Chains A and B, each alone.
Chain A
Amino acid sequence: MRTRGRRLLRTVFSEQAAAIALIVPSLFAVAIFVYGFIGWSALVSVSEWDTVRPDYTYVGLRNFRDLFDNFRFQIDIRNTVVFTVFFVGACLVIGFVVASILDRHIMGEGLFRSIYLFPMAVSFIVTGVVWRWLLAPRAGVNILFDKAGADALENGWYTNPDVVYVHASSPLGEALQAVGLGFLADANFGIPLAMFSVVIAATWQMSGFVMVMYLAGLRAIPEEIKEAARVDGASELQIQRHISLPLLRPVTLSAMIILGHQSLKIFDLVVSMTRRGPGFATDVPALYMFETTFQGNRFSHGAAISIVMLLAVSVLVVPYLFWSLRKEARL
């Protein structure tokens, strides 16, 4: 008994020692190269550093005040919200629909699954270049529409400068003013149409990934539950709505987090596809951060933008991490 106990203790101990030994280097690396640099960025964001010569004079939250006063940053926030909502929404809907269809064990399922998943293997830069050509006003999709006689569908895509918003003079705008929400009747609370081109490209790339997540989720739902529903006379749509969707809620949440944090810090796709767009219609904070830091040499300004982006992503990811850690602990 005693020797066995000791041996057990020794294995446990040595296993732990190995684990700790293995984890220490990465802990150091992460502490320095991730958290250290985050801290450094935070320090720069409250400094006066706006030339190439570092200057750590403390200026408090001035950079953040300037930032939220800045017209370009206000437009960027609007764009990020619009992009996130439509991109995540479209990916979830398309992913779920395609997964439901594939879940019927249709012929050539493996082939379709690969085809839908393939775009994910491409980098956002490549996606951006390809869709930039496909959606160029004088090329690609517009020519297709032209040849097909669907002239009405031809449009400027990402060159379209229009922003759809509630005009202050419209009936709805006046109603908003009456209830004290007049500030909403502003282009900064509108939807830039050019952004939809970017949403299309991003959705093309990422909806396959959501599809795979949903497909795995659907396959994990016990057939018996669906059988029982069918016996009770539920239609297939009702089964999807009342059985699959609720059971897939964890998958939906995971997909939303993964897509959401990606869209909040999107950069590569926009850079290769549209850049700032007409009147900043497709500008995003990461692009602004890049330009103001590396072209304008305003390092403190750029650091402030990156800190705001970090906070935005944290608001999304941190509760999710807690949630999933708690769930893991329960297992």
Chain B
Amino acid sequence: MLRKPRIWLLAVIGVIAIGGVGVACGEDGEGDETPTAAATSAATGTAPAGTPSALSGELEVFSWWTTGGEAAGLEALFDLYPDQCSPDVEITNATVAGGGGAQARQVLTTRMLGNDPPGSFQVHMGKELTDTWVTTDYMEPLDALFAEEGWEDVFPQGVLDIVSYEGKPYSVPVNIHRANVLWYNKKVFADNNLEPPATFEEFFTVAEALKANGITPLALGDVEAFASVQLMETTLIGVLGADAYNGLWTGETDWSGAEVTSALDTFKRLLGYVNSDHSSLTWDQANDLVISGDAAMTVMGDWLHADNKAKDFADSGWMPSPGTAGIYDALSDTFGLPKNAPNPDAVNCWLKLVGSKAGQEAFNPLKGSICARTDCDAALFDEYLNSATDDWKQDAIVPSLAHGAAAAPGWATEISDAVTVFLVDQSVGTLQSRLSDACQGADVCQ
């Protein structure tokens, strides 16, 4: 009795399975074609791009810029491509939504491992690029391009160091964001007769006064773990200074030393002044607290400036986060050339555009970031961005941990895990020993 229906069921499953195999094979087939195409175009030579108009074919640019100013900035770059490079190249804008690129990175990894690299992809400068793709031999060095374009002179040395591995640059920075900015509500400070704090001592005095008046001193929104990691990172910079902070990532500064203990103690004290619901808010929701005056300050990267503008918040004040005057905690979006990328000549011209004055001047005012180059026209940028540019030209540049510049992805994930626990258990000893273990696990510390 039961046999008939079961056979039908099996038949249906069988058909679905065959369908599944068919689809999977179809995808495989597509995947196979691209490397071949890449090989052919690579065979035709990466020799000098020649006359721009000689370029044709397709150029795929992979990023996580899907909304707002970042998407507009990317479009502005695409609009420049026909003039600067070639009108015959068809640009594919391959984007994967998701702030910070967590989703995009995963798609990228799948494609790179499947030997289907995009022409060029967005990646944070520093270890996120080098320790993921360069040490594993997936990227082409760009030293020839940097020399040809004279970029050694227009980018600050600090940033050239961060994008290079074994002396060769591997990606072109298009913009610079700063992570160590203290944003505050001017009105709240004026109403309470307070001055925004430049040092941690001043911060704690101000914070006590604000707390007494029922105002949350420091807004934090760390649904996304990067926000709390970034707060720790700016505290480490503020207490240790630029050199000792840089030493954390090379093994020269001892993670279990007294200086780090003191920094982590300060971090713990800071956490005593944040809003209690920080783990349910995003960084921009935390900024809403500052805008409404419920909170007085927040430490966040300067993408917050665009958020303030979008929300018409005029009382915004800014300064380097406590103890970090003269230090620029930098992160940058960069583009590189993957090995076996299809149409490498078109990619080469894209990279030239990304690093050019015209390209950066088109992109950055829209994105709300400053040029990685030091020669952009100040008139194109607003007051904050100009003040950041001035700092960029003279400050000591250090790599951001929370945004992939300072530590390899695996190491950064472990640090972020340790910080997540610390936010609750507040045990400096445990945090420090875990940070120290993580450094050893990353084979940087002995």
Contacts and interface: CB of A to CB of B under 8 A. Distances in A.
Nearest to A328: B2
A23 B276 contact: no
B109 A22 contact: no
Contacts of A51: 131-132, 135-136
B88 interface: no
Contact of A26 (B14, B102, B279, B420): B14
Contacts, number: 112
B132 A19 contact: no
Interface in B1-40: 3, 7, 10-11, 13-14, 16-18, 20-21, 24
Given A26-B17, A53-B137, A136-B280, A295 B409 contact: yes
Q: Is the interface of A mostly helix, strand, loop or mixed?
A: helix
A272 to B, nearest CB: 12
B251 to A, nearest CB: 19
B424 interface: yes
A328 to B, nearest CB: 9
A176 to B, nearest CB: 21
B70 interface: no
B20 A159 contact: no
Given A19-B10, A54-B113, A159-B277, A292 B413 contact: yes
A156 B410 contact: no
B421 interface: yes
A136 B133 CA distance: 39
B155 interface: no
Residue from the set B131, B132, B279, B412 with the largest chain A CB neighbour count within 10 Å: B279
A72 interface: yes
Interface in B412-439: 412-414, 417, 420-421, 423-425, 434
A15 B420 contact: no
Interface string A5-34: 000000000010011001111101110010
A241 interface: no
B205 interface: no
B106 A296 contact: no
A226 interface: no
Interface residues of A, number: 41
Interface stretch (A86-94, A243-251, A274-282, A315-323): A274-282
A138 B11 CA distance: 53
Nearest to B8: A22
A9 to B, nearest CB: 16
A295 B102 contact: yes
A268 interface: no
Interface size class of B (residues with CB under 8 A): 35 or more
Contacts of B135: 51
A214 interface: no
Contact of B413 (A136, A278, A296): A296
Contacts of B42: none
A276 B7 contact: no
Contacts of A15: 3, 7
B280 A137 contact: yes
Contacts of B280: 136-138, 156, 158-159
B423 A279 contact: yes
Contacts of B89: none
Given A19-B10, A297-B409, A33 B24 contact: yes
Contacts of A296: 409-410, 412-414
B138 interface: yes
Contacts of A33: 20, 24
A276 B412 CA distance: 16
Nearest to B16: A26
A163 to B, nearest CB: 8
Contact of A278 (B10, B279, B417): B279
Contact of B18 (A25, A156, A278, A291): A25
Contacts of B13: 26
Nearest to A298: B410
B279 A277 contact: yes
Contact of B276 (A54, A72, A156, A292): A156
B280 to A, nearest CB: 4
Contacts of A277: 279
Contacts of A325: none
Interface in B156-196: none
B105 interface: yes
B300 to A, nearest CB: 19
A208 to B, nearest CB: 26
B325 interface: no
A297 B11 CA distance: 40
Given A15-B3, A52-B138, A294 B106 contact: yes
Contact of A52 (B3, B136, B414): B136
Interface of A: 15, 18-19, 22-26, 28-30, 33, 50-54, 71-72, 75, 136-138, 156, 158-159, 161, 275-281, 291-292, 294-298
22 contacts: A19-B10, A22-B7, A22-B10, A22-B14, A24-B14, A25-B21, A26-B10, A26-B14, A26-B18, A33-B24, A51-B136, A52-B133, A53-B138, A137-B276, A137-B280, A138-B277, A138-B280, A159-B277, A161-B279, A280-B417, A280-B420, A294-B109
Given A276-B225, A291-B413, 10 more contacts: A25-B21, A26-B16, A50-B410, A52-B138, A278-B423, A279-B423, A279-B425, A280-B420, A280-B421, A296-B409
